[in-house]
Amino acid sequence: MLTLIAVSTRLPAVSLVCIWILCLSGCSITELQHDELQEPAQRQSGVVSVEPLATGFTGGRVGWGRITIFYIPVVPIHIHSDEASDLMDVVRNAVSAAGYTTRLASGPQAGPVLTAHVDKVRFNNYTWIAPLVPTWGRIEVTLRLESASGEVLWEKFFEGKGFTFNFTDGYNIAATESVTRLANSMVEAFSAQDFSEALAN
């Protein structure tokens, strides 16, 4: 009986320690940003109109901080910025890296407009083996180039993944790695001939 009491009183203490570790490991993503982008094999030229905001973000959680060996979700993870605007900044940076000039789409457009829809955003960490705290995530996005009449001239799916063992800033590091990979794959796609041809329609 004494053994059972000792075990039961230890459980809350273990939970508190795990939650404390979660708090130390950083339980949010400050903003969606990327590292320096790669140079494309071929640069293009021209002007691309880009929507100012991405669709698909819910404004809610994008993952969980998890504790114990059973992977129990405890702390919700949020992006603490205007993620819909952040993502379009990333898209515009990728368009510029491919050689184009960008402009914000506003009102009725005479030419094609580039839009972005977020299909999935998910980030998690796992504190059971602290101080090693694996943190990982992915962002999945579909880009479309649409004519003034709404016809889809070009469409492509992109995915960026990130992973780190960083203890204090894991979510920001994993998110930045995910966004950088996402943006670099966009640079490659924007510099390809099929995008240039679709833009000319």
CATH number at residue 87: 3.40.50.10610
pLDDT digits (tens, 9 = 90+) for 102-142: 999 987 777 899 999 999 999 999 888 888 899 999 999 99
Instruction: From 79, 146, 150, 138, select the one nearest 116 (Cα to Cα).
Output: 146
pTM of the model: 0.85
Beta bridge partners of 156: 143
* Amino acid, single-letter form, for residue 196: S
Say whether pLDDT at 97 is over 80: yes
Q: Are 21 and 133 in contact (CB under 8 A)?
A: yes
Q: Residue by residue, what is the 3-state secondary structure of the chain?
A: CHHHHHHHHHHHHHHHHHHHHHHHCCCEECCCCCCCCCCCCCCCCCEEEECCCCECCCCCCCEEEEECCCCEEEEEEEECCCHHHHHHHHHHHHHHHCCCEEEECCCCCCCCEEEEEEEEEEEEEECCCCCCCCEEEEEEEEEEEECCCCCEEEEEEEEEEEEECCCCCHHHHHHHHHHHHHHHHHHHHHCCHHHHHHHCC
Q: How many domains does the chain have?
A: 1
Q: Which band of pLDDT confidence, cut at 50, 70 and 90, is reported for residue 66?
A: confident
pLDDT at 80: 93
Residue type, 183: A
Q: Give the pLDDT band of residue 12 (cuts 50, 70, 90).
A: low
Q: How confident is the model at residue 8 (pLDDT cuts 50, 70, 90)?
A: very low
Q: 24 is in which domain, residue-wise?
A: 2-199
